[in-house]
Amino acid sequence: MDKIDRHYAIFAIGPVQSFIAASRKLEDLWGGSYLLSYLIRHSLASITHICHERQMNYQIIYPHYTPEELAQPEGPSLAVANYPNRITFTLEASEESVNKLMKQLEAGVRNELVRISNWAVQEVFDDQTAEAQRRVARLKAQAAQQVEQFLEVNWIAYRCPQKEDWNRQEAERLFHALKGQRPMHYVPEQGIACTVYQRMDALCYELPVSTDRYGNMKKKLQDTWGKRNAKYKPKDLEDKDRARIRDNEFLCAISLVRRVARDFFRQEFDCDPHLFAKYESVVNIGTDEDGYYAVLLMDGDNMGHFFNGRENEVRNTSQQLSRFASQSVPAIVQEHRGVLLYAGGDDVLALFPVEEVLSAAYSLRVAFGEAESGLKGATASTGIAIGHKRTPLQQMLNEARELEKAAKLYTSSKFGDPVKNAFALSVLPRSGEYLGPAVLPWETEGIMLTKELTHVVELLSHVISTSFIYEFASTFQALVGSKTDFEPEYLEEMVLLECFRLIDRSVYDKSLRQELRQNLIHVPVLYRQLRLKGFIDLLKIMAFFNRKEKSSATIDINAG
């Protein structure tokens, strides 16, 4: 009989960035995140199934989901990508059995993606005619080759003679090392690149030949994509921009499966069709009148600390993160009328109406660090990019990513605050002026800064005219230096004096001046965090937020 050993296994799929980042539309973005999440869930189900069938002892360490949750996905969170891109688990079996299982998992995940790509091609190009059958067969073959080439699957099964934690750390170390030994492909692509994901050829049922010039190649593509089904074409000329696949979009297999993922999963889960409808377009975020929306990207800080403990501690961490991702995050996002694209472990990607984003960001941060809803004592950094609904989605994502990085670099040794644990905010107005980034801690000197910002925005809405901001900016813009650390001490007093003088002049109801001073008592704290340039930018950002607030009812000046 083969020797039974304990193995620590890691199974991961990717590439995450390429799968998600190259997105032209909201449904591309959602489709990429959801596909990865779905494939991991599929692999988790396979582990459970194979281990039961072969009577192998196993224990899933990360992510933590019960077999029931895996078997019966349902409810509003069904459409949310909330599985991370890797699984860690232990296995007690012979080396041969473990090897077989891991290879089976790899083959399973690859086959599943090919199945989805086959469905996508059939869905978009099939019209039951004999010609369509031939066309679809050719496209399926090209698509299968592309998804096989694209999907990265990395796994390791590390034999642990004893149940000791160093084995786990050693396995993690080895896994990271082996990721550097990527396969070295030679897969030449001969045609015109996909409009969305430039690394691969757009699907085309006629292969390019060596004598083809660009015009011929383009015509072949137009012929192919001109035969897509009516559902994916513009309904009329006026509607050409709203087509699921535009007339001049030519997609590779990866872009295609992301684009039609909503349709696939709607059919796969046989669920309420409206469940996936909110991923159609960013236009659906907030009200129809809203021209702007916010992209929020949150990431836990120093998560390595939480995964360095003993195995049961790691499993607890995993359980808490899973609960945060599957329960707390969807509830908070829904409460703030947002669209949740991804919530896996400590990562969150969601879109919000502008007026909701600060409050949502703070709620997510608080929930993340609390024992009941997340991981006790954990902190997180968040990037919040606000832009027009016509701003290219990729630009918004890049901006949110940069802001999250900026928040991660936050440090305030002056106040003894911890590194990271902050949020960064910027606005990309249509005018082209870039406002930000304003990087602030969630709390400082006992003040909740998101709440403080919301409060100032409310005051700007009904109590103070925003004109003071532009006067203030024009007065001090010339003093903005490139090195904020070297701003003279006296500048703060000067800036704040002038700021309050201008505010006094801008109050609609002069009798409220004294009371207003009390309401703006924390403004100096904001200045000290941001220094002059950041402070001016922040005021402009708040003036921008104010435009969103104008429609709300009159507020009480003392409202916190």
Applying CB under 8 A, which residues contact other proteins?
7, 15, 24, 95, 98-99, 102, 106, 153-159, 171, 173-178, 180-193, 195, 198-199, 201, 208, 212-214, 217, 241, 246, 248-249, 304, 390, 392, 394-395, 398, 409, 411, 413, 419, 432
Helix (H, G, I), strand (E, B) or coil at 370: coil
Contact between 49 and 83 under an 8 Å Cβ cutoff? The reply is no
Helix (H, G, I), strand (E, B) or coil at 59: strand
Count of residues making up the chain = 560
Residue 184: φ, ψ to 5°: -105, 95
Helix (H, G, I), strand (E, B) or coil at 338: coil
For residues 498 and 512, what is the distance between their CA atoms, to the nearest angstrom?
A: 19
Between 434 and 513, CB nearer to other proteins: 434
Residue 348: φ, ψ to 5°: -135, 135
Q: What is the DSSP letter of 201?
A: B
Contact between 304 and 383 under an 8 Å Cβ cutoff? The reply is no
Shortest approach of other proteins to residue 415 CB, angstroms? 13
One-character DSSP codes across 239-302: GGGG-SS-TT----HHHHHHHTHHHHHHHHHT--GGGGGGGS-GGGSS-TT--EEEEEEEEESS
Between 360 and 378, CB nearer to other proteins: 378
Shortest approach of other proteins to residue 86 CB, angstroms? 13
Shortest approach of other proteins to residue 540 CB, angstroms? 19
Between 182 and 550, CB nearer to other proteins: 182
- Category of 27 on φ-ψ map: left (φ > 0), alpha (ψ -120 to 50) or beta: alpha
> Cα 370 vs. chain centroid, distance in angstroms?
22
Helix (H, G, I), strand (E, B) or coil at 220: helix
Contact between 456 and 542 under an 8 Å Cβ cutoff? The reply is yes
Between 11 and 30, CB nearer to other proteins: 11
Shortest approach of other proteins to residue 437 CB, angstroms? 15
Contact between 532 and 484 under an 8 Å Cβ cutoff? The reply is yes
Between 183 and 446, CB nearer to other proteins: 183
DSSP strand pairing (292-300 vs 380-388): antiparallel
Q: Is the peptide bond before 437 cis (omega within 30 degrees of 0)?
A: yes
Between 407 and 507, CB nearer to other proteins: 407
Contact between 384 and 440 under an 8 Å Cβ cutoff? The reply is no
DSSP strand pairing (422-428 vs 5-14): unpaired
Contact between 387 and 427 under an 8 Å Cβ cutoff? The reply is yes
Contact between 48 and 67 under an 8 Å Cβ cutoff? The reply is yes
Between 73 and 291, CB nearer to other proteins: 291
Between 288 and 556, CB nearer to other proteins: 288
Structure token pair of residue 69: 């949750």
Q: What is the DSSP letter of 552?
A: S
Shortest approach of other proteins to residue 378 CB, angstroms? 16
Shortest approach of other proteins to residue 246 CB, angstroms? 7
Between 69 and 148, CB nearer to other proteins: 148
Shortest approach of other proteins to residue 551 CB, angstroms? 26
Shortest approach of other proteins to residue 549 CB, angstroms? 28
C-alpha closest to that of 13 among 95, 102, 80: 102
Structure token pair of residue 164: 């000791």
Between 2 and 372, CB nearer to other proteins: 2
Structure token pair of residue 127: 């019209």
Shortest approach of other proteins to residue 214 CB, angstroms? 5
Between 62 and 155, CB nearer to other proteins: 155
Shortest approach of other proteins to residue 286 CB, angstroms? 21
Q: Is the peptide bond before 353 cis (omega within 30 degrees of 0)?
A: no
Between 99 and 552, CB nearer to other proteins: 99
Structure token pair of residue 465: 């005219």
Shortest approach of other proteins to residue 432 CB, angstroms? 7
For residues 83 and 62, what is the distance between their CA atoms, to the nearest angstrom?
A: 10
Q: Is 256 exposed, middle or buried (0-12, 13-18, 19+ CB in 10 A)?
A: buried
Shortest approach of other proteins to residue 480 CB, angstroms? 18
Residue type at 413 in one-letter notation: S
Between 179 and 517, CB nearer to other proteins: 179
What is the side-by-side strand order in the sheet with 292-300?
339-344, 347-352, 292-300, 380-388, 422-428, 435-441
Between 397 and 469, CB nearer to other proteins: 397
Structure token pair of residue 292: 């702007």
